[in-house]
Amino acid sequence: QVQLTESGGGLVQAGGSLTLSCAASGFAFSFYVMGWFRQTAGKEREFVATISRSGGSINYGDSVKGRFTISRDDAKNTVNLQMNSLKPEDTAIYYCARMSILNMKSPDYWGQGTQVTVSP
């Protein structure tokens, strides 16, 4: 079965960095667009970034452009999110997502999430 497992969350001071990792299993990883989303209490899940099957096409949400970098390693079935210059407003639960092969803008599987907390 499809499994997505995030790791790397934690507490960091504003201006600091964290790298999130998502380990995927149960499907042909290299065939799928992968993404990261985030959510805070009382708000809708927010798009963070997606990376195409080849890694040649990457998209970022406006709030993270220039600070976050998404990457993938098809040999290891992992997708990473390098987060730099973190701000308190980046505090959220971060979710890894597999994007639907029929609609690559729509997630069809989610990980359990990892908490990122940025202190002022």
Contact 72, 51 (CB under 8 A): yes
Which residues, 6+ apart, have CB-to-CB distance to 16 below 8 Å?
86, 118
Nearest to 37 by CA among 63, 72, 67: 63
pLDDT tens for the 120 residues of the chain, in order:
999 999 999 999 999 999 999 999 999 999 999 999 999 999 999 999 999 998 889 999 999 999 999 999 999 999 999 999 999 999 999 999 999 988 888 999 999 999 999 999
